[in-house]
Amino acid sequence: MTFAILPMTFSHLDEIAELEQVCFSMPWSRASLQDELSNEYAVYYVAEDGDGRVAGYAGMHVVLDEAYITNVAVRPDARRNGVATALMRRLENIARGSGAVRMLLEVRESNSAARAAYEKLDFKAIAVRPRYYIRPTEDAVIYEKILKEDE
């Protein structure tokens, strides 16, 4: 599968809102996604497939020296093609360029595919938030990637 990594724009919102419905039990609304486009701390990218459809998207907030991954979602038929990895690498490059010293994210404890993907990208599990998720209730595992060691 070929795809291009591009900044998220208003034209992507309908497809991303649909993707949220497919991927998450508590999806972000289209309005929430649209609000993120005007958030000065937010960075969002999409992976567009060869047909110009959204294959996946990812976003983060960069505040001071920390980058927090807010969302990563890939269309079911586009999974296992490097989409999430490419999106995460783009976010990491932006985080580094913004002076972030670490990246953080959380993921459902049962989401073994995502957890394996994050670990392959050198994220380390550092904590658990008990009962963080609902529908169903589940712990969140917090992951961290150090981008720059203290000098």
User: If you compute the radius of gyration of the chain from its CA atoms, what whole number of angstroms results?
Assistant: 15
Could you give the residue numbers annotated as active site? 106, 118
Residues facing 56 on adjacent strands: 47, 74
Residue type, 113: A
Beta-carbon count within 10 A of 42 CB: 16
CA atoms within 13 A on the CB side of 130: 0
Residue with token string 């050198």 = 122
